[in-house]
Amino acid sequence: MSRHPTLSVSGLSVDYPLTSGGLFRPARTVNAVDGVTFDIAPGETLGLVGESGSGKTTVGRTILRRVPSSGGRIQFEGRDITDVDGAALRKLRARMQIVLQDPYTSLNPRMKIGDIVAEPLLVHGLAESSDAARHAVRQLLDRVGMPADAADRYPHSFSGGQRQRVGIARALALKPSLIVADEPVSALDVSVRAQVVNLMQDLQRELGISYLFIAHDLAIVRHISHRVAIMYAGRIVEIAPRNDLYDNPVHPYTEALLSAVPVANPKVQRARRRIVHTGDTVDIANPPSGCRFHPRCPLATDQCRQASPPLLVKAPGHLAACWNRGR
């Protein structure tokens, strides 16, 4: 096993400009991601969960160096890549790939599937000839379960699940060690979501890939992830092994999220307590002092309003940012 995590993120912050400022007014920024820290081991899947606007997609894009960070460090396979640019960044991106949410808009409708999957091989000079590229494409498409004639067809002739398989094949072309999967099944029919997730798990076991799996579907996240991190208003509020987090949540926000996940057994579902926190969601452009969840938290104290809680160990491998739980 590698001595280093595949990915190590420490204190990652991202600011977006709201106004450019002027002669008599300062520029304003929004702190979209604030002090995010986590590791992903080789062959591990970390699920990153949060409501819309929590910053989870920004975290993924910043790790891939598509969005500049304003603070913190990013280490990939033991190397600090926070400030890497130019040719070194281009070479690095061969090892870090992304699978996007919408499998149709992420594929060029004017290109055949074979050309789409071959493109990264040709751009990075990994195919010695067009014949070699075609052979590699056939292998990749077969690996993700696409039919033999798929290379000669266009994206519109496939279903959403098949198009996402093409997106996965394109990501695999450069033999990455990390894939950021940004809501990869949320645009698919429920009937095919499990097929795509199972494919990703099979590929992970076969190739040893690490995943950052960004999603809002807690049932899917539990199925695919080894550990789960919960984001709220730009910060990670809890991170733990999958079963520990689902069976014994610590943070009140995590409790509320999990209480909303339906259970197939009607009797169990009726007996469950739905936790609903009142109050408005946080304005990320003007966040409250202290814990960003305190305006909605039933446990909030003066300490919560004044000081932001750090991620602390509440149980072995289980960290949460809460002053009032798991002491």
What pTM was computed for the model?
0.91
| Average confidence (pLDDT) over 98-124 | 91
| Average confidence (pLDDT) over 157-162 | 93
The DSSP 8-state label assigned to residue 102 in this structure reads: -
The DSSP 8-state label assigned to residue 214 in this structure reads: E
Which of 208, 206, 227, 213 has the alpha carbon at shortest distance from 42? 208
| Average confidence (pLDDT) over 101-125 | 90
CB atoms within 10 A of CB 88: 12
Place 158 in a pLDDT band, splitting at 50, 70 and 90: very high
User: If DSSP states are collapsed to H, E and C, what string results for 193-207?
Assistant: HHHHHHHHHHHHHHH
SS3 242: helix
Place 1 in a pLDDT band, splitting at 50, 70 and 90: very low
